[in-house]
Structure 1
């Protein structure tokens, strides 16, 4: 033991080595919780992308029909407008049930998809527009009914999707 000259306490010299702290924990490999979080985020992003693509595909016939039936298109005749409505309906409803509908049954089907009937009250105008050479009184109104039907009835609502 050495004694310190300026202090009365003895100092002890022990043969100790310097302190070595352990290495900091590595960030890799990640814990399973992080991998599960990354997988959940990837699945969620993929689901959103697929949902958006599915919705675009589902809405494509409606958007095309609405573009062709725009009220600004004055050249659209009622016969062409009702044909566009039939084509759009065939995209959303079963072909074997819709394709066979004609006349009153067709107009009844169209009105069954709307809250307010547009086609059955104007059945005589429609028949005249489709099968007579003479022009009907309000062809723009008939085309507007077609536009309104495509806009309101497509895609079919679950409560009104029944045919007939």
Structure 2
């Protein structure tokens, strides 16, 4: 049989699949990858901002503790703690209620971060220690609780807490 006599036509092969345009699955994967990178970048920036503020704030607590160890002046120590906390809150949000004092101040701190609770001794030291001498101040307890409060209270939590308090100026 003669192959040229058969009524067959040449097979036309399809064009090779190119790399572009990509299939929809690749586009979806790229979008997910971009979203993950953006989320990780955002979380890293938040974490870094909080760590930077802690790097500046925690040495102030150390300095207050060292000053207390030298002079044992409880009013000065409590004033220094309140000043440090107010500086931290002001750095986090300019609209923080920094003019508060006493029980209102400690209630404000608890409203900002209700999960990072402070003990009665710490609350008493922050509320009343600046105005009267405390003969037996639990320095280690106060220091560790304030460090934990600062570590758990991110700038975003402060902004959220400040906005939840209504940004009303207290009656002074």
Q: TM-score, normalised by structure 1?
A: 0.58
Contact kept in structure 2, 1:62 and 1:151, CA below 8 Å: yes
- In the comparison of the two structures, how many residue pairs are matched? 145
- Aligned partner (choices 115, 127, 132) of residue 128 of structure 1: 132
- Identify, as 1 or 2, the structure richer in helix: 2
After TM superposition, list the pairs within 5 Å mapping 1:93-132 onto structure 2.
95=95, 98-112=97-111, 113=114, 114=117, 116-122=119-125, 123-128=127-132
Change (3 A) 1:149 1:29: closer
Change (3 A) 1:67 1:21: farther
Q: Which residue pairs with 1:45 in the alignment?
A: 37
Contact kept in structure 2, 1:65 and 1:88, CA below 8 Å: yes
Structure 1: gaps spanning 5 or more residues = 1-11, 130-134
State the 1:20 CA deviation: 6.5
SS at 2:66 equivalent: coil
State the 1:84 CA deviation: 0.8
State the 1:52 CA deviation: 2.0
Structure with bigger gyration radius:
1
Residue 140 of structure 1 pairs with residue 139 of structure 2: yes
Q: Which residue pairs with 1:22 in the alignment?
A: 13
Which whole-Å CA distance do the structure 2 matches of 1:124 and 1:14 have between them? 108
CA deviation profile, 1:17-38 (whole Å, cap 9, x unmatched): 9x76736623322334123432
Q: Which residue pairs with 1:132 in the alignment?
A: none
- Aligned partner (choices 47, 54, 57) of residue 49 of structure 2: 57
Which whole-Å CA distance do the structure 2 matches of 1:94 and 1:128 have between them? 29
Which whole-Å CA distance do the structure 2 matches of 1:110 and 1:50 have between them? 26
Q: Over aligned residue pairs, what C-alpha RMSD do you find?
A: 4.1
